Amino acid sequence: MAVITAGVAGSQNRVAFLDAIAGSEIGAALLAATDNGYNVLVGSTLENPLTFPSYADHPNILNKEFDSTAAGRYQLLHLFWADRTVDGELVQGYKNSLDLTDFSPLAQDKVALQQIRECHALPDIDAGNFTQAVALVAHLWASFPAAGYGQHQNTLESLLESYVAAGGTVAA
C-alpha cells in the first residue's frame, strides 16, 4: 500500500490509483517480496529481485537489457527525477520542482501524483472515472493498456480489480 495518506494525497481514490499502478508495474508477489516495490529496479522479477539499498537519492542504475534507469514503486526514470538541459534550457526534475530531499517512499508517492496531475487525470480519479483516468496516464506506465512500449501490458480489468481492492470507488 502507498505510504501517503488519503488526506495528504487528496482522496482515497488517489491512494488506490497509486496502488493499482504499483500492482501493474511491480506485481503483487514482488511488492510482497520487497519494500512494497519502493526499492525495485527495472527488470526485477520474483526469481531475480533487483533492488537498491538506499533512499537517499534516485539510484540512477542503468539496466542495459531495458536501456532504462526506472526505479521505485512507480518505475520513475532518472531523467525525470534530476534537473536536465533540454534545447539549452534548464528543466527542473521532480526532485527540485517538488522540493524533495530524497527518493523515499513518500517522495515516490508525491512524484507519481504529480505525474498524474500533469496528465489532468486527478479529477477523473476523484470522480471515480477510472477508465478515463487510465487512458490519460497510460503513456506513463509501460504495463498499462495501450502504453505502446512493447512490454507486457496488463488489462484494464486487472487494473480496476487492484484499484477497487485498494479502496477505490468507481462512478455509477
pLDDT in tens, the chain (172 residues): 999 999 999 999 999 999 999 999 999 999 999 999 999 999 999 999 999 999 999 999 999 999 999 999 999 999 999 999 999 999 999 999 999 999 999 999 999 999 999 999 999 999 999 999 999 999 999 899 988 887 889 999 999 999 999 999 999 8
The predicted structure's pLDDT at residue 150 = 78
Active site residue 25: yes
Give this prediction's pTM: 0.95
Q: Which residue has the cell 477497487?
A: 164
The predicted structure's pLDDT at residue 100 = 98
Classify 169 as helix, strand or coil: coil
The predicted structure's pLDDT at residue 37 = 98
| Distances 44 to 1, 63, 72, 159 between C-alpha atoms, Å | 19, 10, 11, 20
Catalytic hit among 25, 65, 89, 161: 25
Structural element, H or E, at residue 10: none
For the chain, what is the radius of gyration of the CA atoms? 15
CATH class of 6-165: mainly alpha
